[in-house]
Chains A and B, each alone.
Chain A
Amino acid sequence: MKLLIFAHKGEAQAFIHFYKLQPVDYFVSGLFRNDQMYLLISGEGSQSSSEKTISVLASFNQEIFEIYNIGIAGSLNSNFKKMDLIWIRTAYAHHAEKLEFKSFTSNSSSPKVDCISAFARIISIEERLKLSCFADIVDRELWSIASAANLYKKPFHSIKIISDDLSQINNKYEICQLIKDEAPLFSELLLAEFKSSLNLQDKKMKVIENSFLSNEAYYFTTTQKRKFIQLTNALNLKNINIESLNFNDLIDLDCLPKERSRLLLLELNDIVNPFSKKIRQSIGKAIAPLEQAGINATVDPNLEQNYLHLTMKIQSERDIDKIQAALELFSFTQFNKIFKGDLGDV
């Protein structure tokens, strides 16, 4: 599920209405949900947004897979005017007259605008010019939310709408009133931007991944799932459509779902990395005499060190003879050549 975070309810109202979000009985106020997303009203400023974001992530960590911070911001750059909708690239922070070294870059595809979160409201032109060395727009919460997202290793995105630009410097009470009056419009515009941004390609990828991950013929451990997603992405980068690949042989194979998943990953890996397949085949050939004698021979998984780890069971003199014969047939020199890159033509 997505977690959408807004500083004020005014900015969130269109989302609450459109997605029919219901209040959640939770120990901090301002949490809503439906079956697709959580929405949190974090309150203004870094402390409140940090505390509330972290507490929600701690409680619903398993359900939430990405975070959006949505809301208003002030412009620090004459290129950005009131009502401009902006996806944020990097979040910086300015706390108590000091810059925070850490910055957090969003997972959105190609935004070019940076946002600095200020400890206090930035009203004067002097303050804005000072911060403009580091970012294009200013808000109060993004850095704290991005920091919390980073803590929980969740991707984050941020959409901001410019509520006040450099040409419009009022006192803070006037600005607050203006923003309050215009909140419904800001909220509608932010909602429209959010809805149009949902990436169809990502959705398609998820469907393909899920057709394997939810198939009962396969059973993926967490590590295997991660590997599967990595390989699917790699196929995608190589412009290979996983749907065009035929795995019927695997489905027909009489084996446990876990073994089938292992074999699927192996096949995918060979498609993505034909060179690795060649190395594996060469090693397989070199250690065949050992395997034929029932010796389980494993190599360094990273292929960085040229050792063999042998496991065998001896239950009789005959087993010892078999092992001795296999070891005589096995050529360590040949095995070692693979690690020196002697693989013939690949």
Chain B
Amino acid sequence: MFESIYIETHLSSHPKVLEILQKYPHSIIHKIAKIEDVFQRVKKPYLQKRTNLNLFLGEKKGQLVKPAPPAYGLSGEPHFYFVHAYNCIYECNYCYLQGYFHSPDIVLYLNHDQIAEEIKNVVAENRIKCPGTKIWFHAGEYSDSLALTSLTGELSYYFKLFKDLPDCFLELRTKSINIRDLLKEKPLLNIITSFSLSPEKNCKENDLKTPSLKKRLIAIEELHLNGFPIGIHFDPIIYDNDLVYSYEQLIDQLVLSIPAESIRYISLGVVRFTSEVYQQVKKNYPDSQLLAQEFVKSFDNKIRYSKPMRLWILSKIKQLLIDRNMDPLKIYLCMEDEDHD
């Protein structure tokens, strides 16, 4: 899987490093002073992940916990994300990661103790600033939260941390079905595993190299039956002529795996790109149907469908969910201001 593994020298004897190296005996090992000496030194095109993907193991420096962008998660509550990995093993053709880092190589940071300290500091600050509010942390801003957990094994660490932070929530956002390590943990009400779902046809066309919708739904059912709280993201929603029908089908399949009232929240987000990512999509996936659609530069300079189209899509899908007993208060729109004028 990994052609080369680059390790920060001071971590050479770190137990996790040794464990990972045992799993990839054929990878070429390079010891480097720090990840930045090699990672992003040259602009490595995104699709090279298909043929020569490398792995970097190191320690994250600088700001470890950051405020999430506006309209991220349920409104009115502070949201933060922490960075423990860069890049993803999947290859969704709309993914913003293709325009974000200058390399598709996977970076895994191993200093979870420092990240945990930073999370505690943020909680302490926010308890003073906005007493009584719930604070959210998200783990999958630059990577899939579960896809590599069998390799990295950090879940038990965060379960221990959030057990002691009952007024805080952790969202593990994923398209993965790698739930083996998660099932080893005792479910916590404040750790929510959220799955990104699209109709089957869209999954096949756009969520390249990800588990099928069917498999994701099985994973959702298994976690739900084992008591793990579940969130759902219909994001990104990509328009096609059968949009309403295909989302009806999707929601019907979803509520067979987990009853609507048991879903903690559902976010809806229509496909969007920064200009740079849109250029990358054109370059990387020139035959994608996605590119046959009409996009405009929207209110925040992101490339989106026109506003009437976006709001039509969101209202239709929201209504489909409400028709199937989903509480409207649990549905939120991601990166879209419903009343934006």
A residues near B, CB below 8 A? 89-90, 92, 99-103, 105, 112, 114, 133-134, 233-235, 237-238, 269, 272-276, 279, 282, 302-306, 338-343, 346
Contacts and interface: CB of A to CB of B under 8 A. Distances in A.
B42 A304 contact: no
A137 B321 CA distance: 54
B307 A303 contact: yes
A232 to B, nearest CB: 11
Given A339-B311, A341-B313, A341-B314, 17 more contacts: A90-B44, A90-B48, A234-B293, A235-B292, A237-B289, A238-B292, A269-B294, A276-B309, A302-B306, A303-B308, A304-B306, A340-B308, A340-B311, A341-B309, A341-B312, A342-B312, A343-B312
A338 B308 contact: yes
A101 B43 CA distance: 6
Interface string B293-322: 110111100000111111111110000000
A202 B283 CA distance: 17
Nearest to A110: B47
B291 interface: yes
A57 to B, nearest CB: 21
B292 A302 contact: no
Contacts of B48: 89-90, 114
A272 B294 contact: yes
A306 to B, nearest CB: 6
Contacts of A233: 291-292
Given A112-B51, A341-B312, A92 B42 contact: yes
Given A112-B51, A303-B307, A99 B42 contact: yes
Interface in B45-60: 45, 48, 51
Nearest to B304: A304
B287 interface: yes
B42 A273 contact: no
18 contacts: A90-B44, A90-B45, A90-B48, A99-B41, A100-B42, A112-B51, A134-B42, A233-B291, A233-B292, A234-B291, A234-B292, A234-B293, A282-B308, A302-B296, A304-B298, A304-B299, A341-B311, A341-B312
A302 B312 contact: no
Contacts of A101: 41-43, 102
Nearest to B305: A275
Given A302-B298, A343-B312, A105 B292 contact: no
A234 to B, nearest CB: 4
Nearest to A341: B311
B288 interface: yes
Which interface residue of B241, B297, B309 has the most chain A CB atoms within 10 A?
Answer: B309
Contacts of B297: 302, 304
B312 A339 contact: no
A163 B122 CA distance: 59
A40 B312 CA distance: 55
B30 to A, nearest CB: 8
Nearest to B315: A341
A238 B296 contact: no
B307 A103 contact: no
Q: Which 3 A-B pairs have CB atoms at the shortest separation, nearest pair first?
A: A341-B311, A341-B312, A302-B296
Contacts of A339: 307-308, 311, 341
B239 interface: yes
Given A90-B48, A302-B297, A304-B298, A276 B306 contact: yes
A123 B43 CA distance: 25
A303 B296 contact: yes
Contact of A303 (B4, B291, B306): B306
Contact of A237 (B42, B292, B294): B292
B45 A103 contact: yes
A217 to B, nearest CB: 26
Nearest to B50: A112
Contacts of B38: 133
B306 A279 contact: yes
Contacts of B314: 341
Contacts of B308: 279, 282, 303, 338-341, 343
Contacts of B296: 302-304
A39 to B, nearest CB: 28
